Amino acid sequence: MSRAGVVLSIREAMNPVKRSPIGGQGRTVESDETVIGGKTKNRAYATKEPKKHTVLALVDRDGLSYSFHIANVKATTLRQTIVKVASRESYLMTDEPASYAKLGQEFSGHGTVNHSANEYVRGGGFWHVNTTECRFILMKRAVFGTHHSISEAHLPRYLAEWDFKWNTRKRGTCGARAQGRGRQASHVACLYRLNGLITGHDIRTQPTVASCALEAAGRGIVR
């Protein structure tokens, strides 16, 4: 398997088999969207505007966060994902798009901020979607500073990697990150060792990485 194939398999393994509903009674779930893609002015020769990819992020302020590549921001599209991932016992927090008006009625409560009017927080600091905005900033910095370009075909794998990093950011060591991760628990440390491949190590000349890759293949992490 090529280095690129191993890296893609690592990202695929960071994707949970099943997502338990986030939020719940007395908890707040933020929902927001952004677009990921380059700008024409940043292209040396091509003059065509790069294709933009819409990403939806859901964040439980006291728990996990997941992101999804979606086709558009229509109400039906948003609802299809949100009701599967967020408990409807949660308080839904969004910005002002009309797409959320009817969907918000399905939750225990629905609060909004009006970004188009430069309103980013209100209600004593309770009404905001700044946590999702933080996620988007980290995603875009990863694209700008590390990946430079992400294809639509592989975007879900990158989202899985960013979700995994966000959801385990407070766990410190690799062993601590592995705690309670279901399928990921048994091989997350191996994934982090394999991460050396991303930095450009050649698997043929790196015995430690090579043995870990073989171990991952035996576990079904690398296919």
Residues near 166 by beta carbon (within 8 Å), at least 6 away in sequence: 65, 135, 138
- Determine the pLDDT at residue 207: 43
Dist. CA 80–CA 86, nearest whole Å? 11
Give the pLDDT mean for 99-112: 96
Asked if pLDDT for residue 45 goes beyond 70, the answer is yes
H/E element holding 209?
A: helix 207-219
- Determine the pLDDT at residue 9: 77
| The total number of residues written for the chain in this structure | 223
- Determine the pLDDT at residue 49: 72
H/E element holding 57?
A: strand 53-60
Q: Per-residue pLDDT tens for 107-147?
A: 999 999 999 999 999 989 999 999 999 999 999 999 888 88
Categorize the per-residue pLDDT at 5 as very low, low, confident or very high, splitting at 50, 70 and 90. Answer: confident
pTM, two decimals, is 0.77
Give the burial string for 106-144 (b: 16+ CB within 10 Å, else e).
ebbebbbbeeeeeeeeeeeeebbbebbbebbeebeebee
Give the number of other CB atoms < 10 A from CB of residue 146: 8
Classify 18 as helix, strand or coil.
coil
H/E element holding 109?
A: strand 109-112
Q: Which residues pair with 114 in a beta bridge?
A: none
Q: Per-residue pLDDT tens for 180-189?
A: 544 444 445 5
Residue 161 near residue 192, CB atoms below 8 Å: no
Q: Per-residue pLDDT tens for 164-184?
A: 989 988 865 454 555 554 444
Categorize the per-residue pLDDT at 205 as very low, low, confident or very high, splitting at 50, 70 and 90. Answer: very low
Domains of the chain in start order, with CATH, are: 1-16+153-223 (no CATH), 19-149 (3.30.420)
